[in-house]
Amino acid sequence: MRVIKLVILTLVLAVFLAGPVLAAPQTTCPVLEGKINKEVYTDYKGQRIYFCCKGCDVEFKKDPEKYLKKMKEQGVTPEKAPAAK
């Protein structure tokens, strides 16, 4: 019984710790799901979010947490925004 508990604990820990490693870079727009254009972006809470076109950034700003949640559910991790100079 102890072995089973140890195996389960090990698996849970592995999944928990592997989360950030398995995170995918952003390749699609969180609003319209088109291919991102790295010239169209917004920085939000230290993260850089890319969009497929102008207008998606405006839509994102209406409810950013909704789109960040969607990205997280898809396993996407936004880039860190560059530090302000």
Q: Is residue 41 a contact partner of residue 31, using CB atoms and an 8 Å limit?
A: no
pLDDT tens-place string over residues 4-50:
777 677 665 655 555 455 679 999 999 999 999 999 999 999 999 99
Residue-range domain boundaries for the chain:
24-85
Segments of the chain assigned E as strands: 37-44, 47-51, 79-80
Q: Is residue 7 a contact partner of residue 52, using CB atoms and an 8 Å limit?
A: no
CA distance 51 to 41: 6
- Tell me the whole-structure pTM to 2 decimals: 0.72
